[in-house]
Chain A
Amino acid sequence: MFSMFREALKSYEHIDPAIFALLLFVVVFAGIIIRVFRKSERKHHEYMANLPLDGRDSE
C-alpha cells in the first residue's frame, strides 16, 4: 500500500512543497479550530450570530 502511494507520488516532481503545504495546513488550522470551538465563547458566538437579525426589518 505504502509502496503504491510512493509510486503515485513519483509522477509529481517537487513533492516537497506539497508536503510543506499540507503540514502548514494541518498545524495552522488545527490551531484555529481548537481556539474557535472553546466552550467559553458560546454566548458570544450566539450573540454575534444574531447580529443581522437585530433591526427594524427583522421585527
Chain B
Amino acid sequence: MTKSGATAPQTKYLEETYDDTVVKQFLMATIVWGTVAFLLGLVAALQLANWRMNFNLEWLTFGRLRPLHTNAAIFAFAGNAIFAGIYHSSQRLLKTRMFSDFLSKVHFWGWQLIILSAAITLPLGYTAGKEYAELEWPIDIAIAVVWVVFAVNFFGTIARRREKHLYVAIWFYISTIITVAVLHIVNSIEIPVAFMKSYPVWAGIQDAMVQWWYGHNAVAFFLTTPFLGLMYYYIPKAVNRPVYSYQLSIVHFWALIFLYIWAGPHHLLNSAMPDWAQTLGMVFSLMLWAPSWGGMINGLLTLRGVWGLLRTEPIVKFLVIAVTFYGMSTFEGPLMSIKSINGLAHYTDWIIAHVHGGALGWNGMLAFGLIYFLVPRLWNTPLYSKRLAEVHFWFALFGILIYYISMWAAGLTQGFMWRALSPEGRLVYPDFVETVTRIVPLYWVRAVGGATFLTGAIIMIYNVAKTIGQAKEAEPERIAAAPMASGAGDKGHRKLEGLGAIFAVLAFVAIAVGSIIELVPILSLHKHLDPQVSVAPASSLELAGRDIYVREGCYVCHSQMIRKLPADVVRFGKASTLEESMYDHPFQWGSKRTGPDLARVGGKYPDLWHYRHMLNPRDLVPMSIMPSYPWLLTKKTDFVRLRKKASVLKFLGVPYSDEEVASADVNAEADAKVIADVLRGAGINDAQLEQKEIVALIAYLQSLGKKTGTMGAAMSDTPGDGAAATTETPVDASTGTVGTEGGAK
C-alpha cells in the first residue's frame, strides 16, 4: 500500500538498467552552459550600465551579445536541464531504458554542437534577426534534425514502456516535443541567400504574428510545459508524497496547452496588428490565470503535511521557490496582457523583470533543485555540503529579487516618463535620452543582482565538483517494474493515458486549434492592407543597410512600431501601419526601447548626423548609452550578393522588377556614391567612403517612414506627417549636430 492508500502492483527489479550516462552528460552541460549564460547576462547588464563595457569590439557589442545571452539561457541552460530531467524521469515513469542509447548520444552531442555553433555565429553577426530564433538556416536545420532524433527516442521509449498508463509528467513532455517541433519549423521557413544568410518567407504583420506565436510559445512549451513535467515528478520525489491532486493535473494539462497557444498576440498589443487578434490574445492570456495557478497550487500543496522539509532540505527550498516564482510570473504575465497595462509596460524594463522572474526564478531555481536532487543519486554519494547548497539558495534568491525589483522600478519609471504629457498635450520628457539616463542607476543595481545570482551558481559548481570528486564507482540503477496492466475496461481519460500515440495526436490538435484560428487569417495579408496605400520596396542600397541593421541587432534596443497610443504618436509620429512593413523580411518591430523608436527616423537628421552618431553616439547625444560602431566606417558593403538577395526577395513577393534585380549591385553603388559625396562635402575624408557599410546603413535609416504614399501620389517625405512636431529639434546641416542636447535621441 502506498501512503495515500492506493494499491500498487508488486514491483520487481529487472536485470536491465537505466541509461543514466546521458542524464549525467546533460546535467554537466546544464551547469557549464548555465554559468556561461549567467556570465553573458552580467556582461550585457554592465554594458547597459556603462557603454564602455562594449569595448568597441563588434563581436562583443550589446546587439550581438544579448541574443547570445538569451539563446544560452533558453536553449543551452534550460534546454540541457529539461533533457536531463526528461531522460531521468521518463525512464523511471515508463519503467524501461531509453529506446536507443545511440539516439541519446546523437541528441546530446548534436545539441551541444548546436549551442557551440550559436556561440560562434551570433557574436560574428550571423543572425536571422528574430528574437529567440536568431540562428541561421543551417543551424535551424540541425535543430530540427536533433529534435526529431529526440522525438524518435522519446516516443520509442513510450512504445516499449512497462507501465500502461502515462503519468502527467510524460504528457507535458509529449506536448513539449510536438509543439516545439511545430513552432520551430513554421517560424524558421526561410530562403537561403548564402551559407549563413537567409530571409524568412513571412513578412511584416505575417512575420510578427508567426514570430510571437513562436516566441510566446517557446516560453510556454520550452520553458513552461517541460518544467511542469519536471515539477510533477521531482516535487513528489523530493518530499516523498504523491502529487496533491491527480485530477487537477489533468485539467491543468489540457487547459494549459489549449490556452497557451492563443496568447502570442499579447506581444503586439496597441500595434498595427488587427484589433480582433489583439483582443483574442488578451482574453486568452487572462484565461491562462486559471490553469497556471491550478498547476502552481497542485505543486505547492504536494507538500501538505511535510512543510517542515522547507527548513531542512535545500532541494525542497529550490523546488518550492521555483513553483512560487511560476505562480508570480503567471500572475504577472496575464496582467501585462491587459491592453491598457501593456501600454505602460511594453518596450520597458518591466518586461525584462517579468522575463527574469520566470527564467531565473522558475526555470533557474527548478534546474538547481534538479541538479541537487540528481547529482547525489546518479553518483551514488551524499551531497558534499548541504550548507553550501543553502548558501547558494539565498544568493540565488536575493540575486533574483535585486534584479527583479530594480528592473520593475526602471520599467515603471521609464514607462511613466514616456507617457507624461502636459495639459497642452506636449511631452514632459521630450528627450528620449533623459528617460534612459534616469534609470541607469537601476541598471547598476540590476548588475549587482546578476552578479549575486552568478556567485550562487559558482558555489553550486564547487559543491557539485566536490560531490562528484568523493564518489566511488556506482552500479547502474536496475529497472523497477511491475507486470504491465492490460488496460482493458479503461474509459475516458484513463483510457487515453494508456494510448501514447492517440494522446500525442490529441495534444497536437489542442495546440493546432488556436494556431490555425489565429494564424490563417493573418497569413491572408491582402485583406488587412489599405488598397489606397502604395509602398515602395527598399532600394538595393537600403536593403544592404537593412541587413547590417539586422546583423548588429539594432532591433534589440530600437523598435520600429509606433503604437496607437497618444504618447507614442506625439513622441515619434503617426502610428505605424501594416503597409509600412509589408515587405520587411524579417519584420523589425522590436520588443524593447532602450533607444527610441526608429519607424520614422528617415529624414529627421542629415546623413552626417548618422555618420557621426554611429562613430560615437556621445558626440551628438552626450548622455547616450549606445555603443560606438567604428567598424562600420572600415568594413566594406557586400554589393556582390545584392542581386541574389533582391532575387530571393522578389521570389517572396517584394515587387522588384527584373531590371532592378539584375542591376541591384550597380544601383546600390550609384546610390552609395550620392551619399558619400554628401558626406565628403561635409568634411569626411575617405576616398572609398561609398564602399563602406556606414553609407548603406545611413541609406536604410534615412528610408525609414518614407516608403509609403497614396496611390498616384508621391511617397511621404515628411516623417510623422507633422505629428512629431513636439520632438523636432533644429539640426545644423553642416555639422549634423542637434540644437538641443540629446534631441529626440
Task: Determine if B242 and A46 form an interchain contact, defined as CB atoms under 8 angstroms apart.
Answer: yes
B251 and A29 contacting across the interface, CB-CB below 8 Å = yes
A29: chain B residues within 8 A (beta carbon): 251, 254-255
Q: Mark B232-255, 1 if CB is under 8 A from A, else 0.
A: 110011001111001100110011
Digit string of A17-59 for contact with B (CB within 8 Å is 1, else 0)?
A: 1100110010011001101111001011111111111111110
Set of chain A residues within 8 Å of B287, measured between Cβ atoms: 21-22, 25
B250 adjacent to A53 (CB under 8 Å)? no
Considering the chains assembled together, what is the distance between the CA atoms of A41 and B165 in angstroms? 13
In the bound complex, residues from chain B placing their C-beta under 8 Å from that of A37 are 247
Chain B residues, Cβ within 8 Å of A56: 13, 477-478, 480
Q: Give the bracket for the number of chain A residues in contact with chain B.
A: 35 or more
Q: Is B250 in contact with A36, judged by CB distance below 8 angstroms?
A: yes
B487 CB, min distance to chain A CBs, angstroms: 11
Q: Which of A14, A18, A32 contacts B250 (CB 8 A)?
A: A32
Are the C-beta atoms of A52 and B167 separated by less than 8 Å? yes
Q: How far is the CB of B663 from chain A (nearest CB, A)?
A: 45
Complex CA distance for A37 and B287, rounded to whole angstroms = 21
Closest CB in chain A relative to B380 CB, distance in Å: 10
Assuming the contacts A48-B167, A50-B242, asked whether A32 and B2 have C-beta atoms less than 8 A apart, the reply is no
For residue B111, CB closer than 8 A to chain A, the reply is no
Asked if residues A53 and B236 are in contact (CB atoms below 8 Å), the reply is: yes
Smallest beta-carbon distance A35→chain B, Å = 6
Main secondary structure of the interface of B (DSSP, over half): helix
Chain A residues lying within 8 Å of B6, measured Cβ to Cβ, are 43, 46-47, 49-50
Residues of A within 8 A of B403 (CB): none
> Any chain A CB within 8 A of the CB of B438?
no
The smallest C-beta distance from A57 to any residue of chain B, in angstroms, reads 6
B16: Cβ under 8 A from any A Cβ = no
Contacts of B233 in A (CB 8 A): 52
Whether A51 touches B251, Cβ cut-off 8 Å, given contacts A17-B280, A18-B283, is no
**Contact indicator B283/A17 (Cβ below 8 Å):** yes
Count contacts between A and B, CB distance < 8 Å: 122
Q: Is B492's CB under 8 angstroms from A41's CB? A: yes
Asked if B4 lies at the interface with its beta carbon under 8 angstroms from chain A, I say: yes
A44 to nearest B CB, angstroms?
5
**Interface set, chain B 335-355, CB cutoff 8 A to A:** 339
Output the least CB separation between B509 and chain A (Å). 12
- The reply to whether B493 and A48 form a contact with Cβ atoms under 8 Å apart is no
B492 — which chain A residues lie within 8 A by C-beta? 35, 38, 41
Interface flags, B442-465, vs A, CB<8A=1, else 0 = 000000000000000000000000
Contact pick for A51, options B93, B250, B478, CB 8 Å:
B93
Q: Is B168 an interface residue (CB 8 A)?
A: yes
Q: Is A12 an interface residue (CB 8 A)?
A: yes
- What separation, in Å, do the CA atoms of A42 and B54 have in the docked complex? 60
A residues less than 8 Å from B276 (CB atoms) = 13-14, 16-17
- The reply to whether A32 and B168 contact each other, CB–CB distance below 8 Å, is no
| Separation of A38 and B287 alpha carbons in the complex (Å) | 24
* Whole-angstrom distance between the Cβ of B559 and the nearest chain A Cβ: 23
Question: Quick one: closest B residue to A22, CB to CB?
Answer: B283
Whether, in the assembled complex, B89 has its beta carbon less than 8 Å from a beta carbon of chain A, the answer is yes
Q: Chain A nearest CB: distance from B542 CB in Å? A: 34
Chain A residues near B163: list those with CB within 8 A: 51
Partner among A18, A36, A48 whose Cβ is within 8 Å of the Cβ of B251: A36
Check A48 against B275 for contact (C-beta < 8 Å).
no
Per a CB cutoff under 8 Å, which of B8, B168, B241, B494 touches A54? Answer: B8
**CB <8 Å contact, B480 and A45:** no
Contact assessment for A46 and B247 in the assembled complex, using a CB-CB cutoff below 8 Å: no
With A18-B280, A58-B237 as contacts: A46 and B246 at CB distance below 8 Å: yes
Determine the chain A residues whose CB is within 8 A of the CB of B93 once the complex forms: 51-52
Q: How far is the CA of A44 from the CA of B478 in the complex (A)?
A: 26
Which residues of chain B are near A15, meaning CB under 8 Å?
A: 279
Alpha-carbon distance between A18 and B265 when the two chains are bound, in angstroms: 13
B182, chain A: closest CB distance, angstroms: 21
Most B-side CB within 10 Å, residue of A28, A38, A54: A54
Q: Among B3, B251, B274, B280, which residue has its beta carbon within 8 angstroms of that of A21? A: B280
Complex Cα spacing A43 to B492, Å: 14
Name the distance in Å between B11's Cβ and chain A's nearest Cβ. 6
Query: Is residue B497 within 8 Å, beta carbon to beta carbon, of the partner chain?
Result: yes
Contacting residues, chain A, for B240 (C-beta < 8 A): 53, 58
Minimal beta-carbon separation of B236 from chain A (angstroms): 5
Question: Could you mark each residue 252-295 of chain B with 1 if its beta carbon is under 8 Å from any beta carbon of chain A, else 0?
Answer: 00110011001000000000001110011011100100000000
Question: What separation, in Å, do the CA atoms of A53 and B4 have in the docked complex?
Answer: 11
Closest approach, in angstroms, between the C-beta of A43 and any C-beta of chain B?
Answer: 6
Tell whether, in the assembled complex, residue B242 and residue A14 are in contact, meaning their CB atoms are under 8 Å apart.
Answer: no
Q: Please report the C-alpha to C-alpha distance between residue A33 and residue B252 in the assembled complex, in whole angstroms.
A: 10
Q: In the bound complex, do residue A21 and residue B284 qualify as a contact, i.e. CB atoms below 8 Å apart?
A: yes
A49 x B242 contact (CB < 8 A): yes
With an 8 A cutoff between CB atoms, is B486 at the interface?
no
The distance from the CB of B274 to the nearest CB of chain A, in whole angstroms, is 8
Cross-interface CB contact of B493 among A35, A53, A54, cutoff 8 Å = A35
User: Could you write out 22 A-B pairs with CB less than 8 Å apart?
Assistant: A14-B274, A14-B279, A17-B283, A21-B283, A32-B255, A35-B492, A41-B247, A41-B493, A46-B4, A49-B4, A50-B4, A50-B242, A51-B163, A51-B165, A52-B169, A52-B237, A54-B11, A55-B11, A56-B478, A56-B480, A57-B237, A58-B237
Binding site for B on A (CB under 8 A): 12-18, 21-22, 25, 28-29, 32-33, 35-38, 41, 43-58
Return the 8 tightest CB-CB contacts between A and B, nearest first.
A46-B6, A49-B242, A14-B276, A45-B246, A13-B275, A50-B2, A49-B246, A18-B283
